[in-house]
């Protein structure tokens, strides 16, 4: 195919122009693949933290004016038998003051069945000292967030006093520390459900019931089923994080527009190179047409040039993008927690499909960029082209 040979000769005869055209495409693909890795990592981390740091479904009293769920054992057994449900954990939540010597902190005290809570929340994975299961054998044991323990200046083995108006001050032994990497570590404490119920003088009731399901993306459907069967208010993690998920979708739209603009800039680089070649090779184009080359062949010559520049650029860009992403992954880039929904470091996720998408769209944009100069060259009058040279 002589069109391809001509295209190769013209591309590599203008080395400086070719270099900058390829560089434009390569940088565009690099920037986009790195940004896609950041966006994928951010979305995955956010969804994962939403799924893993909270029950997939939280069941609350039906009426907002009601504070507790009664008959929670019967309700928990009913929910546990539902298809798709892995574990159920009833929980009593209360605000107390924990005191140790001259220090005092406001705390969200969670009364839980340790075995059930472990099955729903995998609390043991966050324990950095002690053992969550110690609560099973320790009637008045307590696990504290590590930041909370630091603020109180307590250690495992110390005893803290729980204080609440109308309740008898109760001493709890610190049996472990947890670190979730979130702000909850400053205010969270776990104790046994029966101990907390006794402390608040509210036996036989709980505040919520947490549910873990097999497929988190089916949580909405299962939550609806629980509501119909129990009459209680069941909120899935999808419903709870609807605003964040909508924000991610909106963010994706804006990022895609940004990608398109970057591709467009790279495409202009290739179009500019080809237009320059058309201007500089007008006489050669005229001679080709005078020798019988059709408009279609001339178009193919320039489209091949566009494809060659784009293909080399996207290959280099993909390799460079992968190297930069891997390099950034080796560093922990800290981000403000308040701006990134509690995330402490910038997550990057390498997904092969991201590279495929970036390369595919870059290639398409490059071909489109070559259409105008190709048509311009194809429409040149051979006589005028030769005379004008």
Q: How do the pLDDT tens digits run along the chain, 389 residues long?
A: 777 887 787 777 777 777 887 888 888 888 888 888 888 887 787 777 777 778 999 999 988 778 899 999 999 999 999 999 999 999 999 999 999 988 999 999 999 999 999 999 989 989 999 999 999 998 899 999 999 999 999 999 999 999 999 889 999 999 999 998 778 899 999 999 999 999 999 988 999 999 999 998 899 999 999 999 998 999 998 888 888 778 777 877 888 888 788 777 777 777 777 777 766 767 777 777 777 777 788 788 878 888 888 888 889 989 999 999 888 888 777 766 655 666 667 778 888 888 888 888 878 877 887 788 788 777 777 766 666 65
**Could you give the CA distance from residue 305 to residue 52 in angstroms, rounded to a whole number?**
51
Strand pairing category for 141-145 and 170-178:
parallel
Element (H, E) at 114: helix 114-121
**Could you give the CA distance from residue 387 to residue 69 in angstroms, rounded to a whole number?**
92
**Could you give the CA distance from residue 304 to residue 370 in angstroms, rounded to a whole number?**
9
Q: Which residues of 153-177 are buried (b: 16+ CB within 10 A; e: fewer)?
A: ebebeeebebebeeeeebebebbbb
**Could you give the CA distance from residue 5 to residue 71 in angstroms, rounded to a whole number?**
82
Element (H, E) at 283: helix 282-290
Give the other-Cβ count within 10 Å of 285's Cβ: 24
Q: Which residues of 189-203 are buried (b: 16+ CB within 10 A; e: fewer)?
A: bbbbbebbbbbbebe
**Could you give the CA distance from residue 309 to residue 275 in angstroms, rounded to a whole number?**
14
Rounded to the nearest angstrom, the gap between the alpha carbon of residue 196 and the centroid of all alpha carbons in its chain is 36
Asked if 324 contacts 34 with a C-beta cutoff of 8 angstroms, the reply is: yes
Structure-token pair, residue 30 = 């690099």
Structure-token pair, residue 244 = 């964040």
Asked if 125 contacts 248 with a C-beta cutoff of 8 angstroms, the reply is: no
- Alpha-carbon distances of 28 from 302, 308, 328, rounded to whole Å: 22, 16, 18
**Could you give the CA distance from residue 66 to residue 64 in angstroms, rounded to a whole number?**
5
> Is 131 buried (19+), middle (13-18) or exposed (0-12) by CB count in 10 A?
middle
Cβ-based neighbours of 58, under 8 Å, separated by 6 or more? 208, 209, 210, 211, 234, 235, 240
Asked if 179 contacts 124 with a C-beta cutoff of 8 angstroms, the reply is: no
What is residue 181's DSSP assignment?
Answer: S
Rounded to the nearest angstrom, the gap between the alpha carbon of residue 230 and the centroid of all alpha carbons in its chain is 34
**Could you give the CA distance from residue 192 to residue 205 in angstroms, rounded to a whole number?**
14
**Could you give the CA distance from residue 140 to residue 137 in angstroms, rounded to a whole number?**
9
Contacts of the segment 227-234: beta carbons below 8 A, 24+ positions apart: 229/78, 230/59, 230/75, 230/78, 230/79, 231/62, 232/59, 232/60, 232/61, 232/62, 232/69, 232/75, 233/59, 233/60, 233/61, 233/62, 234/57, 234/58, 234/59, 234/60
Q: What is the pLDDT of residue 337?
A: 63
Q: What is the pLDDT of residue 343?
A: 64
Asked if 129 contacts 156 with a C-beta cutoff of 8 angstroms, the reply is: yes
Maximum separation of any 2 CA atoms in the chain, in Å: 105
Q: What is the pLDDT of residue 379?
A: 77
């Amino acid at each position: 195919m002589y069109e391809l040979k001509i295209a190769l000769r013209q591309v590599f005869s203008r080395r400086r122009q070719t270099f900058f055209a390829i560089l434009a495409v390569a940088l565009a693909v690099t920037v986009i693949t790195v940004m896609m890795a950041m966006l994928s990592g951010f979305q995955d981390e956010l969804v994962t933290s939403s799924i893993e740091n909270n029950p997939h479904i939280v069941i609350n009293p039906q009426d907002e004016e009601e504070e507790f769920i009664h008959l929670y054992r019967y309700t928990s057994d009913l929910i546990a038998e539902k298809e798709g449900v892995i574990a159920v954990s009833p929980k009593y939540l209360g605000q107390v003051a924990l005191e140790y010597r001259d220090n005092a902190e406001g705390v969200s005290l969670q009364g839980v069945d340790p075995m059930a809570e472990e099955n729903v929340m995998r609390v043991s994975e966050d324990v950095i000292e002690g053992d969550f299961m110690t609560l099973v054998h320790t009637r008045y044991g307590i696990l504290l967030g590590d930041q909370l323990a630091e603020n109180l200046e307590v250690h495992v083995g110390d005893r803290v006093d729980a204080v609440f108006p109308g309740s008898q001050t109760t001493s709890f032994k610190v049996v472990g520390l947890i670190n979730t990497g979130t702000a909850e570590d400053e205010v969270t404490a776990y104790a046994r459900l029966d101990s907390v119920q006794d402390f608040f003088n509210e036996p036989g009731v709980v505040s919520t019931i947490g549910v873990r399901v097999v497929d988190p993306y089916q949580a909405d459907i299962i939550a609806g089923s629980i509501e119909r069967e129990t009459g209680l208010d069941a909120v899935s993690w999808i419903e709870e994080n609807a605003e964040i998920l909508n924000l991610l979708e909106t963010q994706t739209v804006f990022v895609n527009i940004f990608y398109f603009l970057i591709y467009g800039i790279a495409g202009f680089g290739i179009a500019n190179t080809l237009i320059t070649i058309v201007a500089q090779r007008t006489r050669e184009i005229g001679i080709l047409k005078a020798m019988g080359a059709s408009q279609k062949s001339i178009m193919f010559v320039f489209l091949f040039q566009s494809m060659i520049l784009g293909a080399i650029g996207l290959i280099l860009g993909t390799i460079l993008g992968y190297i930069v992403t891997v390099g950034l992954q080796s560093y922990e880039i800290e981000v403000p927690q308040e701006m990134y929904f509690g995330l402490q470091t910038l997550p990057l996720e390498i997904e092969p499909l991201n590279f495929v998408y970036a390369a595919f769209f870059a290639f398409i944009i490059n071909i489109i960029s070559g259409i105008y100069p190709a048509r311009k060259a194809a429409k040149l009058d051979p006589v005028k082209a030769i005379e004008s040279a």
